[in-house]
């Protein structure tokens, strides 16, 4: 109930039973589903994600992933989403989040909302693992993350720094409306240096 109250308070939880996102071709009625509990996700020495709720299960209005981040690991370069709003709930550890140059710490049990069109990133500056649930509204962003984390890998022939990988990343960025400023990678390196991240 607390979670539903938070969603309602910030105005991002529509009536899922009747909701369809703008320009949607979703016509099937929604069905209840159960997600059984599982062991906490492992960060595998760096960072990993696991999809819990898929967008198509909610008529395209909501999805979420679990994200595990090893100690002293940097997230993506600062970026914005043209059409996606994100809500983070920290399960374990403390997330460092930057939005438009302002940094905040989000400890376990804390929430952080990032509306579209605001430049942001996150990292784990602590010596302890970080796990959080990241929630997405009105876009199947879990598909972007699965492709990045589990498909565009060296094992699948996508080596870091290659044109092959860069082209696929550019396609995904265009499809999902991710925008990086020209200085985004330099800004990321500045955060890495400031907090001793990798």
Domain boundaries, the chain: 38-195
Write the CB contacts of 9 (distance below 8 Å, at least 6 apart in sequence): none
Cβ atoms of 156 and 86 within 8 Å: the answer is no
Reading the chain (198 residues) residue by residue, the pLDDT tens digits are 444 444 444 455 444 444 445 555 555 789 999 999 999 999 999 999 999 999 999 999 999 999 999 999 999 999 999 999 999 999 999 999 999 999 999 999 999 999 999 999 999 999 999 999 999 999 999 999 999 999 999 999 999 999 999 999 999 999 999 999 999 999 999 999 999 999
pLDDT of the residue at 192:
98
CB atoms within 10 A of CB 123: 24
DSSP structure class, residue 85: E
CB atoms within 10 A of CB 68: 23
pLDDT of the residue at 125:
98
Could you tell me the pTM of the whole model? Answer: 0.85
Angle at 138 between CA 47 and CA 180, to 5 degrees: 55
CB atoms within 10 A of CB 38: 9
Q: Is 172 helix (H, G, I), strand (E, B) or coil?
A: helix
Spatial distance between the Cα atoms of 54 and 20, rounded to a whole number of angstroms: 15
Considering the segment(s) 38-195 as one domain, its CATH architecture is Sandwich (2.60)
Spatial distance between the Cα atoms of 169 and 2, rounded to a whole number of angstroms: 37
pLDDT of the residue at 29:
86
pLDDT of the residue at 57:
97
Cβ atoms of 152 and 75 within 8 Å: the answer is no
Cβ atoms of 137 and 79 within 8 Å: the answer is no
Spatial distance between the Cα atoms of 124 and 122, rounded to a whole number of angstroms: 7
């Amino acid at each position: 109930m607390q979670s539903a109250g938070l969603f309602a308070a910030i105005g991002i939880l529509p009536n899922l039973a009747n909701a369809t996102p703008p320009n949607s071709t979703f016509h099937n009625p929604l069905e209840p589903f159960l997600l059984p509990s599982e062991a906490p996700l492992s960060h595998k020495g760096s960072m990993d994600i696991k999809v819990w709720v898929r967008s198509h299960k909610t008529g395209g209005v909501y999805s979420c992933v679990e994200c595990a981040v090893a100690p002293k690991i940097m997230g993506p370069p600062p970026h914005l989403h043209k059409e996606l709003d994100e809500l983070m709930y920290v399960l374990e550890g403390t997330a460092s989040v930057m939005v438009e140059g302002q940094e905040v710490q989000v400890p376990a049990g804390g929430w952080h909302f990032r509306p579209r069109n605001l430049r942001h990133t996150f990292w784990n500056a602590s010596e302890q693992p970080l796990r959080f649930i990241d929630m997405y509204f009105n876009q199947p962003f879990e598909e972007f993350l699965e492709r990045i984390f589990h498909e565009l890998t060296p094992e699948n022939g996508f080596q870091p720094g290659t044109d092959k990988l860069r082209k696929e990343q550019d396609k995904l960025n265009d499809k999902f409306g991710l925008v990086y400023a020209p200085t985004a990678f330099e800004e990321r390196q500045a955060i890495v240096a400031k907090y001793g991240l990798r």
